[in-house]
Structure 1
Amino acid sequence: MLAALVYFLLPLFWLFVASTKTVGELFSSFGLWFSGDFSLFSNIAATFTTNDGVYGRWLLNTVLYAGVSAGLAALLAALGGYGFAKFAFRGNSKLFNIVLGSIMVPMTALAIPTYLVFSKVGIVNTPWAIILPSLVSPFGLYLMKIYAEDGVPDSIIEAARIDGAGEVRIFFQVALRMLAPGFVTVLLFTLVATWNNYFLPLIMLNDPNLYPITVGLASWYAQSAGGGSGSSGQLLPMVITGSMLSVIPLIAAFLLLSKYWQTGLTAGGVKQ
């Protein structure tokens, strides 16, 4: 466990340490410890002011893409998983097997066909080009289906039907509350995947004002690559600092939503 802890935390520690250094110290000082000048706050200020503050726009774009995609993807996965788990219809198993098969298809293999389709309908270089592909989550649908089978008792659904509730009302007022831990799981998985997505925005967007953090920082790094400590290398501290700042919202989202996981894990441990 200690080795695993070091493996996962060491890159984050290096990222924080590197964010406190100037461009010259990045090439001259020991990478895993602080240097003489603590330049974290000046690097943060430079990150948000470089190129007329475009980093702040990249950050807002990423929050928009990831937030909308995660929320809608989790809702669609919950609807689909609940339908597969609680409704018997012709082709249920065959359709679900197709969903399982689609999990094996890498998203990168679909990026170019998706670009060709989106170019035909005219939504390339728009936020929809990033949001729409992120709404489909085969793994999320599979996860919600498995969770709904055990997490939503059939007796509660039947009791709601006897009371006169419609299927839509049953889902949103009864089932969705029971699916909260699974819903949050899919939400966080999609949030992290969209937040860290690089290849799809790279081929879909050509306007720097629409870039997410991943593509924006990559463009800065491309400008600083090979520059060493020269003029073009001055962007390197901003790339590192921007990368560190981009991790903070994900950590905050996990900490805020982790209580729903804990609720779901302990709900089945109490005998009714």
Structure 2
Amino acid sequence: MTATASRKPRAGKGPLVVRGGHRRRSPRDRRSVTLTVLTAVMLVYTLLPLLWLVINASKTQEGLFRSFGLWFDSDFALFSNIADAFTYDGGIFTRWLLNTLLYVVAGAGGATLLATVAGYGLAKFDFPGKKAVFAVVIGAVAVPGTALAVPTFLMFSSLGLTDTPWAIIIPSLVSPFGLYLMWTFAADAVPDEILESARVDGAREFQTFFRISLPLLAPGIVTVLLFAVVATWNNYFLPLIMLKDPAWYPLTIGLNSWNAQATTIGGDVIFNLVITGSLLTIIPLMAAFLLLQRYWQSGLAAGSVKA
């Protein structure tokens, strides 16, 4: 006689089905194994370039061609490479780093501020032409930034702003995607009942925004800020056509000039400095994500309003 029995599922695991004395995993468990394997593959795929960068940044110029790319060389030169990167060519790497920080603080910070204020206003106030504004924002999101680079260059050239920091900062202030994201987030994150209660208590709109709405918008603000920081930090095409003076280069253009110099016949062979500079370039982005991740959460307004 074949006995068939089923047991209650254990915590964290799918049900075990016993048939003929043999245990079989449910389809849910098999899907979990598949997802785990796929996640592991994606993790390796994501971290492999970073591992290659860390390993090769620790090699000398000769060690790059002497040892395998995914293993360390006998000469560990990470700290000397970092020192050489900051001192090479009169310390121009430090200037590029400061330029990038300037563009991020002014451009990405300003874009986040404008997107937050405008998105909140569009979500919580009604005015004539609101649907037209929505259509314009959606259309702007669909237009890639590279398509606007040449018209932007022509406009800034006529204004005499090319080869200046304003040529990078001003275009970075416009973030249609950030505005749309804050618009949709503010519509649900800030309940209308809270705003009405604050107005009944005599609070002005600015007081309501800064004391009540702004804390509730924190997850959306952090999300928009991270998107803007990454976009500005990795901005390449716009500085490429706007800037000619190396003193105003961001890190992306500066490292590309080093790489071109390293591949030019008769130029300094500085591939180790290019790799080390690339590693130093991604460290601030990683730090920004790690520092801001605790603010990156949703549901701050959950339970604030009773049904």
Q: How does 1:102-181 map to 2 (within 5 A)?
A: 102-181=140-219
Q: Is the 8 A contact 2:216 2:300 kept in 1?
A: no
Against the structure 1 CA distance between its residues 267 and 5, is the aligned structure 2 distance closer, same or farther, given a 3 Å change threshold? farther
Q: Which has the higher contact order (CA 8 A, sep 6+)?
A: 1
Out of 282, 291, 294, the position equivalent to 1:256 is: 291
1:23 to 41, 47, 61: 61
For 1:39 and 1:266, the matched residues in 2 are separated by: 47
The structural deviation recorded for 1:72 is 1.1
Match of 1:70 among 105, 108, 132: 108
Deviation at 1:6, TM superposition (A): 0.7
Bigger radius of gyration, 1 or 2? Answer: 2
Structure 1 length-normalised TM: 0.94
1:16-55 to 2 correspondences below 5 Å: 16-55=54-93
User: Which residue of structure 1 aligns with residue 123 of structure 2?
Assistant: 85
Q: Which amino acid aligns with 1:251?
A: M
Is it true that 1:204 corresponds to 2:204 in the alignment? Answer: no
The alignment of Structure 1 onto Structure 2 pairs a total of residues equal to 268
Aligned to 2:222: 184
Partners in 2 of 1:247 and 1:265 — Cα distance? 30
Verify: 1:220 aligned to 2:258, yes or no: yes
**Letter aligned with residue 186 of structure 1:** V
* More off after superposition, 171-180 vs 38-47: 171-180
Label 1:269 to 1:164 Cα distance change in 2 as closer, same or farther (>3 A).
Answer: closer
Structure 2 runs not aligned, ≥5 long: 1-38
User: Aligned partner of 1:206: which letter?
Assistant: K
Q: Is the contact made by 1:23 and 1:233 (CA closer than 8 Å) also made in structure 2?
A: no
**Structure 1, unaligned runs of 5 or more:** none
More helix by share: 1
Residue 65 of structure 1 and its aligned partner are, at CA, apart by 0.4
User: How does the TM-score come out when normalised to structure 2?
Assistant: 0.83
Compute the displacement of 1:60 (Å): 0.7
C-alpha distance 269-167 of structure 1, shift in aligned 2 (>3 A): closer
Residue matched to 2:275: 240
- Partner of 1:51, secondary structure, is helix
Asked if residue 268 in structure 1 is aligned to residue 306 in structure 2, the reply is no
Inter-CA distance 265–4: structure 2 relative to 1 (3 Å threshold): farther
Q: Residue 165 of structure 1: SS of its match in structure 2?
A: coil
Alpha-carbon distance, 1:161 to partner: 1.6
Identity, in percent, stands at 58
How far apart in 2 are the matches of 1:75 and 1:97? Answer: 21
- Alignment root-mean-square deviation, CA: 1.7
Alignment-mate amino acid for residue 121 of structure 1:
L
Q: Which range moves more in the overlay, 65-74 or 157-166?
A: 157-166
The one-letter code matched in structure 2 to 1:143 is: L
- Residue 292 of structure 2 aligns to which amino acid in structure 1? L
* Alpha-carbon offset, residue 104 of structure 1: 1.1
